[in-house]
Amino acid sequence: MQLIRRSALLLLLLPLPAAAGVLPEDRADLMYHYYDGGGVTIDGPSLLVRKKFAEKYAVNASYYIDMVSSASIDVITTASPYDEERTQYGVGFEYLRGKVTYAASFSNSSENDYDADTASVSISQDMFGDLTTVSLSFTRSWDDVTRRGDATFADKIDRRIYGVDVSQVATKNLIFGFSFETITEEGFLNNPYRQVRFVDPDEALGYGYEFERYPRTRTGNALSARARWYLPYRAALQADYRFYTDTWEIRGSTAEIAYTHPLDDEWTFDVHYRYYTQNGAEFYSDLFPREDFQNFLARDKELASMQSHTLGIGVGYEFKPAWTDFLGKAAINLKYDRIRFEYDDFRDLRTTGFAPGAEPLYQFDADVIRLFFSGWF
Amino acid sequence: MSLGRLAATALLLVAAAGCSRLEPWVKPYERENIADPIMAWDRDPVSSSYMRHVYESREGARGAAGASGGGCGCN
């Protein structure tokens, strides 16, 4: 379904971070994730294991499950609540030669109406006395889209992502970085289930529904900058900003500030605030004036004019496990985020007694929890 | 001076700088704070990739989530 289709996207597309000049530590993470918001509950486990050999090679493997129970506003107004599951696995390889790290990864995501294969390669190099790291990456993915209950429908998406990232040590207490990514997509980009609404005086509600129609291409560009300071006492402050624009005329800005405060060598506390805003896609409307009003039609709230606010906290405890010599150290982390999504032109159709187009605007809060155990071996 | 000429001059200066060996202005023995685990861009990759997934499922913007470079220069 739509939520999972979008969900399937970029989790797959992001290769594991590759730090040039040094391979990642031998580490395993087992996480339980939970999301509850807007009538949708998603939870499941996630596992990531990394292991290096001879200080030159590293491999990683990941496994991830989303168990979804959805009664979202879209489902309530045009379909029936459903349960489903998405499974994803990934493998990766890194090779360090001198100050250059080469990385390659592959992943697959599957659910009952969507399947995606993703391959990614990247190269990172340390330069200027190891103060600068430059990374280039290329990702390609091939998605198969189907529709439950309709054996005649099948389509594809071909996606390419080109990325460059620079990370720079500025002073002994400050690092900053820049990233730029271009994402091009071609194929069936809308949700095969979602519908738009249009004014129809013949309907009892005053409006009728027809299926969404999106352009078959989309190209987006994202540019981000970030800085992290080591404060005069042992703590860190980070600021991030990202600007996004695409050929559907969506422009989005993301700003975030985060603070990390360790206590002794065992406890770590995090707090962060994130703000996001975007305008709507050019072919989006909450209510079209009539059926087939234009070539492209969308009523996906992800493409509406919207804002989101996130306030998050986290606590981590690091320890040496007494029950095993295998793990040099271990950590338990609990993170909680509260997100509010507010829409400027997506109306709440669950309400009654309003003229079409005069319903209250939709908004909802989401709770996100991550509980994970990490072991270094 | 026009913006184009200014940019060309800046480019030439940067190119010329590339001919000489650049001395690291933060010496290896001055990187203790930068090397502290609390200064990592992405301390817990499982957790952070999950949050990107949460946002990208519900917002129109995506990409350049960054933090993929090392840049610590600690090794």
For residues B49 and B55, give the distance between their C-alpha atoms in angstroms, rounded to a whole number. 10
Is the Cβ of B57 closer than 8 Å to some Cβ of chain A? yes
Return the number of other C-beta atoms located less than 10 Å from residue A149's C-beta: 8
- Among B58, B60, B70, select the one facing A133 at the smallest CB separation: B70
Return the pLDDT at B6: 64
Which chain B residues are closer than 8 Å to A368 by Cβ? 51, 54
Mean pLDDT, all residues of chain B: 76
Mean pLDDT of A15-25: 64
Q: Are residues B73 and A288 in contact, defined by beta-carbon separation less than 8 angstroms? A: no
Is some CB atom of chain A closer than 8 A to the CB atom of B18?
no
Chain A, residues 291-310, CB within 8 A of chain B, namely: 302-303, 306, 308
| A contact residues 68-97, partner B, Cβ 8 Å cutoff | none
- Is B33 in contact with A242 (Cβ distance < 8 A)? no
Distance between first and last Cα of chain B: 44
Q: How far is A203 from chain B (nearest CA, A)?
A: 30
Asked whether the predicted pLDDT for residue A7 surpasses 90, the reply is no
pLDDT of residue B1: 52
Instruction: Give the range among A35-44, A60-69, B20-29 with minimum mean pLDDT.
Output: B20-29
Indicate if the pLDDT at residue A115 is higher than 60. Answer: yes
A135/A157 Cα distance (integer angstroms)? 26
- A314 forms bridges with which residues in the sheet? A270, A335
Going by C-alpha positions, the residue among A285, A226, A224 that lies closest to residue A253 is A224
Query: Which pLDDT value is given to residue A78?
Result: 82
Per-residue model confidence (pLDDT) at position A130: 87
Q: Which of B23, B27, B59 to mutate to test the interface with A (most CBs of A within 10 A)?
A: B59
**pLDDT digit string (tens) for A342-362?**
999 999 999 989 999 999 999
What are the pLDDT digits (tens) for B11-52? Answer: 676 566 555 566 788 988 899 999 999 999 999 999 999 999
Return the residue of A nearest to B53 by Cα.
A11
CA gyration radius for chain B?
Answer: 19
How far does A202 lie from chain B, in Å, by closest CA? 33
pTM to 2 decimal places: 0.89
Chain A within 8 Å of B62 (Cβ-Cβ)?
A: yes
Q: Do A10 and B63 touch (CB under 8 A)?
A: yes
Mean pLDDT across the stretch A320-349?
A: 95
A283: pLDDT strictly greater than 50:
yes
Selecting from A135, A276, A303 the residue whose C-beta is nearest the C-beta of B68 gives: A135
Query: Is 90 exceeded by the pLDDT of residue A330?
Result: yes
Of the pLDDT bands very low, low, confident and very high (cuts 50, 70, 90), residue A123 is very high
Q: pLDDT tier at A82 (50, 70, 90 boundaries)?
A: confident
Of B41, B53, B73, the CB nearest to A131: B73
Comparing alpha-carbon positions, the chain B residue that sits nearest to A233 is B33
Average model confidence (pLDDT) for chain A? 92
The reported pLDDT for the residue numbered A352 is 87
pLDDT (average), residues A188-206: 94
Q: Per the CB < 8 Å rule, is B39 touching A11?
A: no
What is the reported pLDDT for A55?
86
The two structure tokens encoding residue A184: 């091009």
- pLDDT, residue A6, reads 46
pLDDT digits (tens, 9 = 90+) for B53-74: 999 999 999 999 864 433 333 3
Which of A128, A244, A250 has the CB atom closest to B24's CB atom? Answer: A128
For residue A328, pLDDT over 70 is answered with yes
Instruction: Tell how far CA A198 is from the center of its chain.
Output: 31
Q: Nearest Cβ partner of A9 from B41, B56, B64?
A: B56
- Give the residue-averaged pLDDT of A364-368: 98
Tokens representing A75 are 């489902």
Question: How confident is the model at residue A135, as a pLDDT?
Answer: 95
- Of A20-29, A128-137, A144-153, least confident by mean pLDDT is A20-29
pLDDT score of B25: 86
Closest by Cβ to A169, choosing from B22, B68, B71: B71
Per-residue pLDDT, averaged over A284-306, amounts to 97
Q: Which residues pair with A69 in a beta bridge?
A: A41, A83
How is residue B8 annotated by DSSP? Answer: H
Banded model confidence at residue B2, pLDDT cuts 50, 70, 90 = low
Please give, rounded to a whole number of angstroms, the shortest distance from the CA of A201 to a CA of chain B. Answer: 32
* pLDDT tens-digit series, residues A160-193: 999 999 999 999 999 999 999 999 999 999 999 9
pLDDT reading at A131 higher than 80: yes
Bridge partners of A262, per DSSP, are A268
